[in-house]
């Protein structure tokens, strides 16, 4: 018993890892549960250097010597770097240094701010302080400390409970008790018009002397338009009621811009301002974060780490606000520019998060929308990131809701609804964290607002998912994009526009069609299938369509108009052998696969899992016979792999509820918006499912995976702890 307590004390004191037995019996035949302890401060710090060493077994047991070695390096590192603001501490640098009774040191202003937020525990070793620093009043309300609820146990408490043979709290059961502890009661302003001034002038590129306007061609041509008829020639005597033309769009990025960005990435990784060295559109980002009781422990630590990555990678002209919600919602950090001081304050706010209470998604979104509505100034790009690991038990599933089916539209404030308002609204990108979140509500929120839904099945890849998202947001080159399709031949008319989730419409006479696309990231592409009638003719060729795009430059605010060449087909007098356009066939396959996913989900929701699997299998067989499949087209291969993965997640009701529903909905979100989402661990750049990743997304994702715990080695480090936390009562 004595040796076991010695190991426990050493491990807890070093805040790294410890051996947790299933029982107190030294001769117990059951395998031990090994958990590697990571402090919140260590998880939040991008500078953490994890020495993985050689490959380890599935249940590694850390030695006492290894613990001492790691503790020594950790202690030395903590003396050189403030674990709160992540900057170096040097004597005589003009900043006071506070050394706590546990011997760890921090910048005085950092730890004073942390203490004012309610923290009286060392961020490094978790020792409880009796003597704490104090300075002036707080800058902004922060979530208050909380004690007394099992759902808010620290990991140290959880580990010691196992040592004593006590059952660990079950997050969902304790959450259902609704033991609510409100967030900090400091009064919030009635109007969130206290956003920090933009205080910067956009840098506009110089116009070429030969460039007379933004119309047609030139150095500032924002879009590329390419069209593909399904076949190049049809006989003169034939008529077609559903002839398909593919409209392909690409948001161009200047070669010099791309080269400069990549050169800076390889040379210096210190900030995103250096990655995107050439001018880009600054962002207003509001993060709405779930800190309910079920987020306690590893999930909260991983969230802090992911938010640390976001904060460190936004530029000084970008602005960030942080909303935390549980039973209620609170603005932790106002909309501020992430200058050096703003970045430090944002990190302090995130590091103060404490998990407790229920899940009130609607209240969190309401506050996030209010920040966007009330801001005095606006950056060119705006977006909301929503993360939750649970189900809203107030607005949708509350006791007062007697509706037979949940109304997920109640979760989204009308001001950020994409469909119910004219113009382009603020997209909400939602992230379902773990296997207990409400995928239907998260997908509904993103779909209604014009955002995407990502499924974070492997909790350790949360940072990668955030990285992929902000990699896109920080590369917006086109805004308010609208596509206009017009018939040329007098006897032609449009039949349909297949645009996924993008709003589209046809004029009454069918001669024109419009698609509202909105923002595009650099190098991002969109494909739309247009169906038209083709009449018989005596001419040698028929002019079908012309396509025009109208969009706005986010920096200059100038409107750019680009027109395509006329879409024409040959009309020979006799039938000739022509090949189907592989570009058209590829996009037909994508739309058919998305339709199969939608039908399979409907069948699964009705309890017909066999029927759902059959729908997906039939689609796979159909794809295998297409022109694209026979030419080993990459998209076709990816669609087949994706459909197969979905089939495997429909093997039972339990598997479907845990991951199948979320995986399918995330896939539908990706295909309907033609934008990359995270599904399981599919943010990996080598995954064939990631058909919509842009170079900017890939760069940011690579950065996350090579410098953080989101990497493969980091996942191996966290896996024992994640496995342990997924079984709260190993006894």
Which strand (E) or helix (H) includes residue 5?
Answer: helix 2-14
Instruction: Note whether residue 300 is domain-resident.
Output: yes
Given pLDDT bands bounded at 50, 70 and 90, which one contains residue 101? confident
Tokens 């590129």 map to which residue?
Answer: 205
Query: Which structural domain, as residue segments, surrounds residue 646?
Result: 584-673
| Strand 97-99 with 105-107, pairing | antiparallel
Residue 88 predicted with pLDDT over 60: yes
Q: Do 576 and 510 share a domain, yes or no?
A: yes
**Contact call for residues 499 and 574 (beta carbons, < 8 A):** no
Task: Check whether residue 667 and residue 576 sit in a common domain.
Answer: no
Which one of 580, 609, 636 terminates a domain? Answer: 580
What's the average model confidence in pLDDT over 518-539?
A: 95
Whether 724 is in a domain gets the answer no
Q: Are residues 646 and 597 in the same domain?
A: yes
User: What is residue 45's DSSP assignment?
Assistant: -
User: For tokens 């290894």, what's the residue?
Assistant: 66
Q: In what order do the strands lie in the sheet with 453-456?
A: 329-337, 319-325, 283-290, 381-388, 428-433, 453-456
Residue 278 binned pLDDT confidence (cut-offs 50, 70, 90): low
Which range is least confidently modeled, 327-336, 393-402, 613-622, 692-701?
393-402
Structural domain count of the chain: 3
286: Cα separation from own chain's centroid: 13
**Given a cut of 50, is residue 141 above it in pLDDT?**
no
Do residue 306 and residue 436 come from a single domain? Answer: yes
Q: How far apart are CA 365 and CA 102, in angstroms?
A: 40
For residues 628 and 611, state if they share a domain. Answer: yes
Q: What is the pLDDT of residue 528?
A: 98
> Are the C-beta atoms of 494 and 485 separated by less than 8 Å?
yes
Strand positions, DSSP E, 450-574: 453-456, 476-487, 494-498, 504-506, 512-521, 525-534, 541-552, 559-563, 567-570
The per-residue pLDDT for range 678-687, each reduced to its tens digit, is 986 655 544 5
Give the full edge-to-edge strand order of the sheet including 494-498. Answer: 223-229, 240-251, 525-534, 494-498
Cα(381)–Cα(163) distance, integer angstroms: 51
How many residues can be counted in the chain?
A: 731
With tokens 């956009």, the residue in question is 202
Given a contact cutoff of 8 angstroms between Cβ atoms, the answer to whether 468 and 703 are in contact is no
Q: How far is it, in rounded angstroms, from Cα 434 to Cα 455?
A: 8
Tokens 């113009």: give the residue: 423
pLDDT of residue 708: 56
In this prediction, residue 206 has a pLDDT band, given cuts at 50, 70 and 90, of: very low
Collapsed DSSP state (helix, strand, coil) of residue 80? helix
User: What is the pLDDT at residue 100?
Assistant: 83
Q: CATH number of the domain that 331 lies in?
A: 3.40.50.410
Q: Rounded CA gap, 449 and 225, in Å?
A: 26
pLDDT band at 129 (very low <50, low <70, confident <90, very high): confident
Please state which of the ranges 24-28, 493-497, 575-579, 636-640 shows the lowest mean pLDDT: 24-28
pLDDT of residue 115: 67
d(CA 358, CA 390): 9
Q: Domain end: 541, 556, 580, which one? A: 580
pLDDT of residue 680: 66
Structural domain contains residue 619: yes
Statement: residue 493 has pLDDT above 50: yes
Q: What is the mean pLDDT of residues 385-402?
A: 75
Average pLDDT, the chain: 75
Q: What is the pLDDT of residue 607?
A: 95
Cβ-based neighbours of 50, under 8 Å, separated by 6 or more:
709, 713, 714, 717
pLDDT of residue 261: 46
235 assigned to some structural domain:
yes
CA distances from 255 to 522, 523, 562, 678 (A): 11, 11, 19, 28
Please report which confidence band the pLDDT of residue 85 belongs to, taking 50, 70 and 90 as the band edges: low
- Residue 472: closest CA among 295, 695, 724, 144: 695
DSSP label of 150:
G
- Both 626 and 504 in one domain: the answer is no
- Mention every residue, 6+ apart, whose C-beta is less than 8 A from residue 113: 135, 138, 139, 345, 348
- How far is C-alpha 683 from the chain's CA centre? 10
pLDDT band at residue 718, thresholds of 50, 70 and 90? very low
The residues facing 245 across adjacent strands are 229, 530
Name the more confident of 268 and 245. 245
Any domain includes 294: yes
Cα-based distances in Å from 50 to 43, 47, 74, 463, 717: 10, 9, 10, 16, 9
User: For residues 494 and 258, which has the higher predicted lDDT (pLDDT)?
Assistant: 494
Q: How confident is the model at residue 3 (pLDDT cuts 50, 70, 90)?
A: low
φ/ψ of residue 567, rounded to 5: -85, 120
Please indicate, yes or no, if residue 433 is contained in any of the structural domains: yes
CB atoms within 10 A of CB 723: 15
Which pLDDT belongs to residue 221? 64
Alpha-carbon distance of 302 to 469, in angstroms, equals: 17
CA-angle at 625, arms to 624 and 628, nearest 5°: 75
Q: Is residue 649 part of a domain?
A: yes
* Greatest mean pLDDT range, 50-54, 81-85, 483-487, 688-692: 483-487
| Residues with Cβ within 8 Å of residue 277, at least 6 apart in sequence | 260, 261, 264
In which residue are the tokens 């603020």 written?
426
Domain boundary among 626, 656, 673: 673
Mean pLDDT of 299-310: 96
Residues 379 and 291 both lie in one domain: yes
**Angle between helix 634-648 and helix 661-673 axes, rounded to 10 deg:** 160
Residues 612 and 531 both lie in one domain: no
- Main-chain dihedrals φ then ψ at residue 105, nearest 5 degrees: -115, 150
Same-domain pairing of 550 and 593: no
Is the domain of 464 the same as that of 499?
A: no
Cβ atoms within 10 Å of 670's Cβ, excluding its own: 24
Does residue 528 belong to any structural domain of this protein? yes
Instruction: Give me the percent of the chain exceeding a pLDDT of 70.
Output: 65
Torsions phi, psi of 705, nearest 5? Answer: -75, -20
**pLDDT band of 668, cuts 50, 70, 90:** very high
Written as one string, the DSSP assignment of 370-428 is HHHHH-SS--SEEEEEEEESS--TTTTSSTT---SS--GGGGS-GGG-SSSSSS----E
Q: Going by C-beta distance under 8 Å and a sequence separation of 6 or more, which residues neighbour residue 484? A: 512, 513, 514, 547, 548, 549, 550
Give the pTM: 0.72
Cβ atoms of residues 585 and 622 within 8 Å: no
Q: Which whole number is the average pLDDT over 682-705?
A: 76
Instruction: Name the CA radius of gyration of the chain, rounded.
Output: 28
- Mean local confidence (pLDDT), 242-255: 86
If you ran DSSP here, which 8-state letter would residue 563 be given? E
Q: Of 634, 663, 671, whose CA–CA distance to 647 is shortest? A: 663
8 Å CB contact between 659 and 680: yes
pLDDT digit string, tens, across residues 575-605: 888 899 999 999 999 999 999 999 999 999 9
Q: How far apart are the first and last CA of the chain?
A: 19
CA distance 118 to 178: 23
Question: Are 315 and 442 part of one and the same domain?
Answer: yes
Cα separation, 552 vs 311, in Å, equals: 28
Q: What is the mean pLDDT of residues 354-380?
A: 93
> Are residues 429 and 320 both part of a single domain?
yes
């Amino acid at each position: 018993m004595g040796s076991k307590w010695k190991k426990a004390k050493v491990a807890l004191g070093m805040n790294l890892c410890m051996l947790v037995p299933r029982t107190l019996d030294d001769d117990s035949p059951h395998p031990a549960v090994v958990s590697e302890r990571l402090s919140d401060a260590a998880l939040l710090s991008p500078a953490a250097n994890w020495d993985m060493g050689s490959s380890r077994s599935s249940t590694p047991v850390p030695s006492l010597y290894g613990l001492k070695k790691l503790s020594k390096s950790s202690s030395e590192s903590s003396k050189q770097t403030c674990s709160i603001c992540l900057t170096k501490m040097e004597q005589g640098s003009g900043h006071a240094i506070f050394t706590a009774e546990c011997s760890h040191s921090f910048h005085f202003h950092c730890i004073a701010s942390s203490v004012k937020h309610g923290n009286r525990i060392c961020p490094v070793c978790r020792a409880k302080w009796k003597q704490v620093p104090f300075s002036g009043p707080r800058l902004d309300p922060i979530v208050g400390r909380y004690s007394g609820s099992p759902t808010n146990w620290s990991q140290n408490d959880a580990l010691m409970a196992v040592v004593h043979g006590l059952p660990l709290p079950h997050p969902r059961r304790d959450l259902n008790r609704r033991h609510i502890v409100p967030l900090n009661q400091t009064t919030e302003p009635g109007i969130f018009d206290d956003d920090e001034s933009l205080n910067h002038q956009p840098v506009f590129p110089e116009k070429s002397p030969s460039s007379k306007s933004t119309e047609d061609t030139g150095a500032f041509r924002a879009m590329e338009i390419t069209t593909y008829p399904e076949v190049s020639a049809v006989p003169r005597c034939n008529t077609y009621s559903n002839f398909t033309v593919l409209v392909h769009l690409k948001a161009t990025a200047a070669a010099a811009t791309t080269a400069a960005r990549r050169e800076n990435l390889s040379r210096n990784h210190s900030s995103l301002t250096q990655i995107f060295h050439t001018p880009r559109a600054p962002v207003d980002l509001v993060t709405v974060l779930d800190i309910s009781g079920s987020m306690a422990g590893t999930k909260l630590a991983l969230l802090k780490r992911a938010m640390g990555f976001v904060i460190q990678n936004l530029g000084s002209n970008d602005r960030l606000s942080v909303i935390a919600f549980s039973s209620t919602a609170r603005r932790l950090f106002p909309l501020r520019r992430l200058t050096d001081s703003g970045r430090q304050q944002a990190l302090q706010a995130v590091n103060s998060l404490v998990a407790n209470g229920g899940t009130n998604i609607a209240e969190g979104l309401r506050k996030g929308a209010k920040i966007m509505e009330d801001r005095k100034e606006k950056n060119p790009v705006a977006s909301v990131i929503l993360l939750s690991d649970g189900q809203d038990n107030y607005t949708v599933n509350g006791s007062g809701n007697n509706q037979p089916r949940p109304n997920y539209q109640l979760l989204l404030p009308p001001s950020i609804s994409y469909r119910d308002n004219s113009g382009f609204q603020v997209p909400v990108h939602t992230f379902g964290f773990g296997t207990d979140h409400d995928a239907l509500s998260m997908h509904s929120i993103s779909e209604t607002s014009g955002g995407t839904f990502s499924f974070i099945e492997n909790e350790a890849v949360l940072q990668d998912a955030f990285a992929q998202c902000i990699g896109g947001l920080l590369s917006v080159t086109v805004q308010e994009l609208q596509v206009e399709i017009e018939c040329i031949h007098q006897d032609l008319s449009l039949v349909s526009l297949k645009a996924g989730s993008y709003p589209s419409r046809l004029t009454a006479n069918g001669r024109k069609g419009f698609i509202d696309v909105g923002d595009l990231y650099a190098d991002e592409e969109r494909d739309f299938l247009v169906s038209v009638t083709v009449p018989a003719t005596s001419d040698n060729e028929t002019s079908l369509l012309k396509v025009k795009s109208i969009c706005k430059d986010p920096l200059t605010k100038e409107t750019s108009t680009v027109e395509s060449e006329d879409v024409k087909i040959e009309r020979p007098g006799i039938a000739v052998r022509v090949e189907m356009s592989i570009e058209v066939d590829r996009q037909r396959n994508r739309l058919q696969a998305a339709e199969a996913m939608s039908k399979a989900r409907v069948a699964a929701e009705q309890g017909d899992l066999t029927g759902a699997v059959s729908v997906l299998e039939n689609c796979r067989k159909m794809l295998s016979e297409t022109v694209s499949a026979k030419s080993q087209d990459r998209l076709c291969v990816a669609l087949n792999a994706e459909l197969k993965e979905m089939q495997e997640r429909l093997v039972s009701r339990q598997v479907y509820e845990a991951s199948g529903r979320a995986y399918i909905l995330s896939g539908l979100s990706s295909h309907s918006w033609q934008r990359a989402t995270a599904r399981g661990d599919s943010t990996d750049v080598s995954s064939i499912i990631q058909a919509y990743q842009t170079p900017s997304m890939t760069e940011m994702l690579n950065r996350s995976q090579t410098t953080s715990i989101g990497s493969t080695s980091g996942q191996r480090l966290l896996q024992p702890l994640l496995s342990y936390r997924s079984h709260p009562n190993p006894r």
